[in-house]
Amino acid sequence: MNATRQYQIEVTNRQQQFAVPEGELLLHAMEKTCLQVIQVGCRGGGCGMCKIRVLQGSFRAKRMSKAHITEQDAEAGYVLACRVFPESDLVIESDHFNDLSI
């Protein structure tokens, strides 16, 4: 039996860590741990409340609102945590909701 792989997520601005099982959405996994280190909004890529910046690591993401993640945002590592599937351990920075677009 293979145990599901877990990725460690370090939230630098909150000095907290949590684990995300492979194939799970980052924000969903955080909510299940009862941590509150990323703001939770619509959970559907629409509202922008869970905007984070990924500083290290790899991930794939579902489609998200371009009103909150522009092409330049995406190139700079900004993403909505509710749409992110980690593919390695990640170092992230949360609390980027309503940042001026870079």
Identity of the residue, 41 or 86, whose beta carbon is nearer to another protein in the bound complex: 41
Identity of the residue, 46 or 57, whose beta carbon is nearer to another protein in the bound complex: 46
Identity of the residue, 31 or 89, whose beta carbon is nearer to another protein in the bound complex: 31
CB 90, min distance to another protein, A: 22
CB 95, min distance to another protein, A: 13
Q: Are strands 6-11 and 90-93 parallel, antiparallel or unpaired?
A: parallel
Contacts (Cβ under 8 Å, ≥6 apart) of 30: 9, 18, 20, 37, 38, 81
Phi, psi of 13 (to 5 degrees): -75, -15
Binding residues for another protein (CB under 8 A): 39-47, 49, 62-67, 82, 97
* Token digits of residue 4: 């599901």
